[in-house]
Chains A and B, each alone.
Chain A
Amino acid sequence: DIQMTQSPSSLSASVGDRVTITCRASQDIRSGLGWFQQKPGKAPKRLIYAASNLQSGVPSRFSGSGSGTEFTLTISSLQPEDFATYYCLQHNTYPLTFGGGTKVEI
């Protein structure tokens, strides 16, 4: 199975900050990466698919980049509703695999 290493595991930030989260794949997954946001007690929500495509309805302050083995999720200006846990998911090859998650806290 492809291993996804996500960093950092947690971070503290303030409203208005620029936040960057990274995922590294154990092998080339081309652009087969998605980013998800999860709030406590809720199902995950997809933000980005195919590395850099914004899911319909997701604010433009979220962006994704990268290909191959290195990927980044950027929140350009953190909003109060963005405090949550974020996960990457490689969807290039079965079995799919999640990163370990990044908790974004105040």
Chain B
Amino acid sequence: QVQLVQSGAEVKRPGSSVKVSCKASGGSFSSFTISWVRQAPGQGLEWMGGIIPIFGTAYYAQKFQGRVTITADESTTTAYMELSSLRSEDTAQYYCSRDGVDWGQGTLVSVSS
């Protein structure tokens, strides 16, 4: 089982960007899909995008195209999700996941003026 540890909670202003990290340890990282999933308060799960680090190509949900960038650094076994042009509706818990099996603890991003 792989442990995924995410960076801490963030408070951001509308229009700014946030970058959340996800550090993997204890198992294989590069050949599995690392996905980013978010959950707004009281709402369902939303797949934002994912990357297979060994290939480096990221895939994004249409809703987030142009606003989200997902990257991975194989040397540090860390994945990143950057979301730009933040608005209040982006306030949510953000999770990383390895193949849907292993999950990070979640990172709360709050967007408020």
Whether A62 sits at the interface, judged by CB under 8 Å, is: no
Chain A 40-71 interface mask (CB, 8 Å, partner B; 1/0) = 00011110010000010000000000000000
Which among B45, B60, B95, B97 is the interface contact of A95 at CB below 8 angstroms?
B60
19 contacts between A and B (CB under 8 A): A1-B61, A1-B62, A34-B100, A36-B45, A38-B45, A43-B97, A43-B105, A44-B97, A44-B100, A55-B101, A89-B47, A89-B100, A94-B50, A95-B49, A95-B59, A95-B62, A98-B44, A98-B46, A98-B47
The SS class assigned to the B binding surface is: strand
Which among B35, B50, B95 is the interface contact of A43 at CB below 8 angstroms?
B95
When C-beta atoms are compared, the residue in chain A nearest to B45 turns out to be A98
Q: Chain B contacts of A43 at CB under 8 A? A: 95, 97, 103-106
Cα distance A93–B50 in the bound complex, in angstroms: 12
Query: What's the interface size class on B, roughly?
Result: 20 to 34
Residue numbers of A with Cβ under 8 A of B are 1, 34, 36, 38, 43-46, 49, 55, 85, 87, 89, 91, 94-101
Cα distance A43–B46 in the bound complex, in angstroms: 13
Q: Chain B contacts of A91 at CB under 8 A? A: 100
Cα distance A98–B38 in the bound complex, in angstroms: 11
A101 near B60 (CB under 8 angstroms)? no
- Chain B 33-82 interface residues, beta-carbon cutoff 8 Å to A: 35, 37, 44-47, 49-50, 59-62
Residue numbers of B with Cβ under 8 A of A are 35, 37, 44-47, 49-50, 59-62, 95, 97, 100-101, 103-106
Min Cβ gap B69→A in Å is 15
When C-beta atoms are compared, the residue in chain A nearest to B64 turns out to be A95
Min Cβ gap B111→A in Å is 20
Which among A36, A85, A99, A101 is the interface contact of B100 at CB below 8 angstroms?
A36
Cα distance A36–B37 in the bound complex, in angstroms: 13
Cα distance A5–B5 in the bound complex, in angstroms: 32
